[in-house]
């Protein structure tokens, strides 16, 4: 208490000046409409800045929750996008029969300049990720989960010479097998398309849906070149991917709700 009293005595002139200034400003604010308007604007500016800073701090502290909510919304939108793409191809409603879920993830390592390329993502079995799940991006497919840890998983890239993906033509449903010849990261080879099917440069290739990895109808790329044999047989087709796999940061893991049942049936058939 003595320290406060001593401080007031030490700065008595300054305190008196500030007190008189405050009283004078208060009187001017009450007597003059112009000054009242000016003070009101100043007060509004100070209040706005204060609340802006307060709001910014609050939003920063809530970023984690906001990001979680955004991820959930992105997952829902990705499911709706895939369903929409299927409806476009099939010309029918597929919402009631869509058996896939998606898990957003971030790519933390990505190789694309080797013969057999892999990726690592920051989601694992504690996030519901298991082996043999497909991984897609916003504009195509990326690969298949092959090893899972608690918080991370490795993905065999489609830029891997041992990976073959079931695909089809969007225009006529002709099925074939897409693989990477190991040359250019955007160029794939499409095999097993019979010459009884019509093929043109620019035809859109989508996932075929005949595997448990990917839903049907996800756009993959377009036919950039093809060679038709003189006799009946199979085309030699080159496909340019929509997706640039050398610039991927985020991805979606595709969870097939029927994966366990499909695996069991495959094992039963094999045995």
Higher pLDDT, 91 or 23: 23
* pLDDT 10s digits, 153-185: 999 999 999 999 999 999 999 999 999 999 999
The listed range with the strongest mean pLDDT (7-21, 78-92, 216-230) is: 216-230
Mean of all residue pLDDT scores within the chain: 78
Instruction: Read off the pLDDT of residues 221-241 as tens digits, 9 standing for 90 and up.
Output: 999 999 998 888 999 999 999
Q: Give the model's confidence band at 102: pLDDT under 50 very low, under 70 low, under 90 confident, else very high.
A: confident
Does residue 225 come out as left (phi exceeding 0), alpha (psi in the -120 to 50 range) or beta? beta
Distances (CA, A) of 27 to 11, 34, 46, 209: 24, 13, 21, 79
For 129, which DSSP code? -
Provide φ and ψ at 59, rounded to 5°: -65, -40
Confidence check: pLDDT of 103 > 70: yes
Output the pLDDT for position 239. Answer: 98
**Helices of type H across the chain:** 2-10, 12-31, 33-61, 63-90, 259-270
pLDDT in tens, 44-77: 455 445 545 554 555 555 666 666 656 665 665 6
Per-residue pLDDT band for 264 (boundaries 50, 70, 90) equals confident
Q: What angle do CA 162, 242, 187 make, to 5 degrees?
A: 45
Radius of gyration of the CA atoms of the chain, in A: 32
The span from the CA of 170 to the CA of 173, in Å, is 6
Domain boundaries, the chain: 2-61, 65-270
More confident residue, 2 or 161: 161
> Mind giving me the DSSP string for 19-62?
HHHHHHHHHHHHH-HHHHHHHHHHHHHHHHHHHHHHHHHHHHHT
At 257, is the pLDDT very low, low, confident or very high (cuts 50, 70, 90)?
confident
CA 248 from centre of chain:
10
Distance in angstroms (rounded) separating the CA atoms of residues 227 and 235: 6
Give me the pLDDT at residue 203, please: 96
What's residue 68's pLDDT?
Answer: 63
Q: What is the mean pLDDT of residues 189-203?
A: 95
* Pair 252, 78: CB distance under 8 Å: yes
Superfamily classification of domain 65-270: Rod shape-determining protein MreC, domain 1 (2.40.10.340)
Please check the confidence at residue 110 and state whether its pLDDT lies above 60. yes
Q: Pick the range with the lowest mean pLDDT from 11-25, 59-73, 120-134.
A: 59-73
- The helix/strand count (H/E) of the chain reads as 5, 12
Are the beta carbons of 192 and 176 closer than 8 angstroms?
Answer: yes
Q: What is the pTM of this model?
A: 0.66
State residue 11's pLDDT score. Answer: 64
Categorize the per-residue pLDDT at 101 as very low, low, confident or very high, splitting at 50, 70 and 90. confident
**Residue 30 banded pLDDT, cuts 50, 70, 90:** low
């Amino acid at each position: 208490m003595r320290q406060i009293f001593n401080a007031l005595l030490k700065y008595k002139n300054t305190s008196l000046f500030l007190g008189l200034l405050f009283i004078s400003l208060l009187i001017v604010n009450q007597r003059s409409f112009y000054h009242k308007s000016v003070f009101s604007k100043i007060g509004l500016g100070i209040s706005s800045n204060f609340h802006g800073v307060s709001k910014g701090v609050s939003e920063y502290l809530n970023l984690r929750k906001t990001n979680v909510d955004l991820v959930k919304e992105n997952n829902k939108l990705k499911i709706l996008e895939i369903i929409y793409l299927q409806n476009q191809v099939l010309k029918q409603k597929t919402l009631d029969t869509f058996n896939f879920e998606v898990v957003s993830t971030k790519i933390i390592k990505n190789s694309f300049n080797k013969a057999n390329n892999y990726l690592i993502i920051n989601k694992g079995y504690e996030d519901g990720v298991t082996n043999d799940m497909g991984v897609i991006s916003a504009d195509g497919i990326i690969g298949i989960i092959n090893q899972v840890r608690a918080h991370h998983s490795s993905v065999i890239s489609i830029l891997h010479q041992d990976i073959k993906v079931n695909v089809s033509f969007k225009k006529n449903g002709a099925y074939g097998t897409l693989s990477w010849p190991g040359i250019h990261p955007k160029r794939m080879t499409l095999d097993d398309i019979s010459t009884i099917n019509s093929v043109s440069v620019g035809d859109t290739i989508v996932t075929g849906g005949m595997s448990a990895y990917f839903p049907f109808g996800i756009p993959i790329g377009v036919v950039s070149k093809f060679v038709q044999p003189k006799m009946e047989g199979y085309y030699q087709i080159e496909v340019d991917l929509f997706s640039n796999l050398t610039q991927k940061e985020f991805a979606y893991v595709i969870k097939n709700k029927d994966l366990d049942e499909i695996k069991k049936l495959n094992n039963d058939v094999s045995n």
